[in-house]
Amino acid sequence: MTPGITLVVVGAILAFAVRADPSGIDLQTVGWILLVTGVCLIVYEVLSNRQGQEDKPGQDPTGTSAPGSRGRTVDDTNPGKDRR
């Protein structure tokens, strides 16, 4: 999430605090572009992390094995056999 926050901060500084007017570039526009890009990046990261943390069958939210499984996984290619 750090790159998104960095873009938001740099964009806000350029959009609101810098009053220089170099020829050929509008710093306020560049600032707004960076700010909006940073917000989009933060939203994307939050949503992608949220999808990766959805509960999966047989696992609790911490990602450990289901109670009583004692670390065993079932071999789907050979029904009836367990792997340790």
- Do 63 and 32 touch, CB atoms closer than 8 A? no
Residues ≥6 apart with Cβ < 8 Å to 9: 38
Q: Name the nearest CA neighbour of 48 among 6, 12, 11, 4.
A: 4
Please state, as a whole number, how many other Cβ atoms lie within 10 Å of the Cβ of residue 18: 13
pLDDT of residue 41: 96
pTM above 0.75, yes or no: no
Half-sphere exposure of 1 (CA within 13 A, CB side): 8
- CB neighbour burial string for 45-69, b if at least 16 within 10 angstroms, e if fewer: eeeeeeeeeeeeeeeeeeeeeeeee
- pLDDT of 45 over the 70 cut: yes
- pLDDT of 14 over the 90 cut: yes
